[in-house]
Amino acid sequence: MTIDLKNPSIAGFHPDPSVVRVGEDYYVACSTFEYLPGIPVFHSRDLSTWTLIGHVAERVGQLAVEQVPTGGGAWAPTIRYHDGTFWIAITDALGRNTMLFSATDPAGPWSDGVPVEGINGIDPDLAWDEDGTCYMTYSALRLVGDELGTHHGIEQVRIDPHAAKALEEPRSMWSGTGLMFPEAPHLYQRDGWWYLMIAEGGTERGHSVSIARSSRPDGPFEGNPANPILSARSTSRPVQNTGHGDLVRTPDGEWVMVLLGMRTTGGTRAFSPMGRETFSTHVTWVDGWPTAEPVILTAPASGSFEDTFDEAELGGEWIAVRRLPAEVADLTERPGHLVLHGDGTDMSSSRPQFVGFRQAHHRMRWAADVDATAGTGGLTLRYDEAHHYDIEVGDGIIVARGHLASLQQTWCTPAPAPEAPLTLWIETVPVQFSGFENMGSDTVRLGYDGPDGPVALAELDGRYLSAEVTASFTGRVLGVYARDGLIAVDTVRYDGRDD
């Protein structure tokens, strides 16, 4: 029976997925870049419905993201299971570099992580042969040393995963069909062949998946004459940038590829507000080679989320920038409230007093009841510290702010009741293409609830908070922040749907 896949499989900023099956259970891990907790792990029984069960990096020091520039941090995990242990190999870019984490339970806790000695690259993969030899295959983008920034294709070494060290000098591997930036290698064994699958063409519109095979895990590899086996480039498909795939086989013998893609919007489909998300597609084998079906966007989805902060800890959906949410958010100072203390920084800081979660739908409303009688703060729609839209209250004034690189504009109005909590909200409304005056992705409204109903203080063009404009590898994150003093949030509500 063919599996009924849902796309996006994991909505919102969840790039670079890797998948493993253990028995009847499937697990996916994704990149998180500068956000913590890092490297979410999802579980499924049907490859369609995915549930967050934990994170790999839930403690200070597991990832060295505290000072990384935007785009650094946790890149491209590979999750595998071998001999009773779950392993994750990942690049902690500009931090601890190539890392290995292990756990007996994929929900955690995971080990503190160990840098792998002798590896200078990104996107590490793990594979074991019948003799128990472990191979690490990776994209040889140099992150340290004299060749910083140069790329040497795909490389491989045998490693001792328990000692976290390479056992030989790196060897060059098959590196694709000649398209730019070969990356995301994964090594598999099937029917007497070893297959090396990679992404190439860059993670932009030319992204694609190609594959080669060999009788040995260390090559030499012969490329598939039909490469690439998956790409959306130069097509009208609503999901573009499809690539960075990982294969998994079901107990019934079906094959599925889990991969990243982007839901593009706008008159020329030029903007991706949610950034890179996780998708999946069916794979069939013909004459010893796999063929992936195009990624199909399923029926419009909807979802809601509410948090009244009655629990002792924030749920796993909450993330923070270059620090853990528990370092910023306090749930005990005022029971039933999320309390943030400002330190004079705002959302343009690399380490704001902020906690948030991923936007997952094109049309959404995000609202919170904010008590700013003892401080200044509010809600934000963040792509990175250089690109964010904020609605803020403090000192009896409501401020809407659009911050785009070196440009900033603000709108101000008196608060209707300065000594009382105020409901702030952010809405996104997709643009309906009706001519060249409507070529963007969506409209972002920043507002508040006044005595006579909702008031939109500002309407901003959403295209500027998209992956293509910001050039960030993440996606939109909604959150609450404090700039000065104390901010207490009673309830947050998110309602979203895709048209």
Q: Give residue-wise pLDDT tens across range 207-218.
A: 999 999 999 999
Give the whole-angstrom CA distance, residue 2 versus residue 71: 38
Same domain for 489 and 454: yes
Instruction: Give per-residue pLDDT as tens, 435-483.
Output: 676 788 999 999 999 999 999 999 999 999 999 999 999 999 999 999 9
- Among residues 251, 269, 292, the one where a domain terminates is 292
Sign of CA dihedral 5, 50, 260, 460: positive
Q: Calculate mean pLDDT across residues 90-97.
A: 96
Give the whole-angstrom CA distance, residue 368 versus residue 8: 27
Same domain for 281 and 340: no
Judged on CB neighbours under 10 Å (0-12, 13-18, 19+), 432 is exposed
Same domain for 100 and 45: yes
Same domain for 281 and 201: yes
Q: Calculate mean pLDDT across residues 375-397.
A: 97
Quick check: 205 and 216 in contact, CB under 8 A?
no
Q: Calculate mean pLDDT across residues 84-90.
A: 98
What mean pLDDT is reported for the chain? 96
Give the whole-angstrom CA distance, residue 343 versus residue 352: 9
What is the DSSP code (8-state) at residue 327? G
Same domain for 452 and 479: yes
Residue 86 has pLDDT above 90, yes or no: yes
**Structure confidence at residue 419 (pLDDT):** 85
Whether 7 maps to a domain, the answer reads no
Is there a catalytic annotation at residue 16? yes
| H or E segment and range at residue 470 | helix 467-470
* CA R_g for the chain: 23
**Structure confidence at residue 2 (pLDDT):** 80
Contacts of 333 (CB under 8 A, 6+ apart): 339
Residues 34, 183, 442, 498: which is the catalytic one? 183
Q: What is the CATH number of the domain that holds 381?
A: 2.60.120.200
Is there a catalytic annotation at residue 4? no
Residues 16, 92, 123, 307: which is the catalytic one? 16
Same domain for 314 and 278: no
Give the whole-angstrom CA distance, residue 109 versus residue 102: 9
Same domain for 236 and 324: no
- Reported as a pLDDT band with limits 50, 70 and 90, residue 300 is confident
- Reported as a pLDDT band with limits 50, 70 and 90, residue 343 is very high
What is the DSSP code (8-state) at residue 117? B
pTM of the model: 0.96
Q: Calculate mean pLDDT across residues 175-204.
A: 97
Helix (H, G, I), strand (E, B) or coil at 387: strand
- Reported as a pLDDT band with limits 50, 70 and 90, residue 1 is low
Best CA proximity match to 211, nearest among 227, 230, 200: 227
- Please give the span between the terminal C-alpha atoms of the chain, in angstroms, as a whole number: 30
Same domain for 191 and 141: yes
Quick check: 264 and 272 in contact, CB under 8 A?
yes
Give the whole-angstrom CA distance, residue 475 versus residue 448: 24
Same domain for 313 and 400: yes
